[in-house]
Structure 1
Amino acid sequence: MNKIQLSFILLLATPLFAADNDVSVNSKSNLLLVHKTPTCGCCKEWVKHAKNHGFNVTTQDHQSLEKIKSMYKITPEYRSCHTTISSNGFVFEGHIPSQYIEKFLSEDHPNAIGLTVPGMPLGSPGMDFDDRFMPYDVLILFKDGSSEVYAEVRE
């Protein structure tokens, strides 16, 4: 059994031991495994954001995320500093606001692999700096490698 398989087993078992949490996404889909590097401060802040919005988050540190991103077919133009995998297999790349993850998980997307916020836009969750903000798009990623705008974040 490799580390990723073991991580998912532990991730799926966590609700059995966790306190009841008022979460609007169902208990299976609110489990997130965040792959990040050990020194990334903005990744840690994004994890806090997800937890504060009701997600049950586990982290796994890697010296390099190249293999993880390639395994989940996240091409360079869609990459950010951390890669999150839901317990039902969807990919959430980068600093995605939790409400869009929750919305995505409540919908049916048979041809999608997940969502991404490419790069590290200023003002996105985990990228807070004073009151500065840079508008950005949340993209939906499809199995064929294409994407389209899922949400526009303008404030």
Structure 2
Amino acid sequence: MNARIVALGLLVLSPLLSACAGDRETLVAGADVDTAAARQTDTAPMAPESTALPPAIVHKSPTCGCCELWVEHLREAGFTVEVRNHAPDALNRLKGEVGVPYGKGSCHTARIGDYFVEGHVPAADIKRLLAEAPQVNGRAAKGLALPGMPLGSPGMEVPDGTVQPYTVELVGEGGGTVPFASH
């Protein structure tokens, strides 16, 4: 695909991406979501329950399409997923409550087992987190974060197969991060 077509696609997508992703200020700016509609839970069919993987509860905006694609990625990887839609202010509060460090936000936050997973983290990295139960500075990790919305990450695939290099970060108790996986 030539560079002009890719650039045009990014130009068209950039308002959608910035409305859906980024840090807490970006998310709060879109606070006009009807709160009654935002509390509705997705009832899409789920993959068969796996006894080896804990269920994933994904918290997202009701209008975010890339979040839905990430949910499908998790289901295809064997996770049972429950989706909870929130207004932006409620989603931001949740991010703070679970320990997502400032500046490490994305468009959705999941709770999987004892961990949070922020953003378009690949299912393989989540499975590794669950299997290894790593520590940061001698203390149990709180979760994984993939800030922003890198092209080519799960749910952010593009037709030409472009993948922006990205690093999933392991988040410790105090909000400090260390690299966990590079893609």
Which TM-score band applies after superposition, normalised by the shorter structure? 0.7 to 0.9
Structure 1 length-normalised TM:
0.79
Residue 112, structure 1, aligned to residue 141, structure 2: yes
Corresponding residue of 2:22: none
Structure 2 length-normalised TM:
0.67
Matched residue count? 131
Deviation at 1:26, TM superposition (A): 1.5
The one-letter code matched in structure 1 to 2:174 is D
Deviation at 1:127, TM superposition (A): 0.3
Q: Tell me, which stretches of 5 or more residues in structure 2 are unaligned?
A: 1-45
CA distance in 1, matches of 2:131, 2:101: 25
CA distance in 2, matches of 1:82, 1:46: 9
What does residue range 57-72 of structure 1 map to in structure 2 within 5 Å? 57-64=81-88, 65-72=91-98
Corresponding residue of 2:156: 127
What does residue range 4-153 of structure 1 map to in structure 2 within 5 Å? 21=49, 23=50, 26-27=52-53, 29=54, 31-64=55-88, 65-86=91-112, 88-109=113-134, 110-130=139-159, 131-153=161-183
Report the RMSD for the aligned CA atoms in angstroms. 1.7
- Percent of residue pairs identical: 37
Query: Going by fraction, where is helix more abundant, 1 or 2?
Result: 2
Cα distance change of structure 1 residues 46 and 20 upon mapping to structure 2, 3 Å threshold = closer
Q: Tell me, which stretches of 5 or more residues in structure 1 are unaligned?
A: 1-17
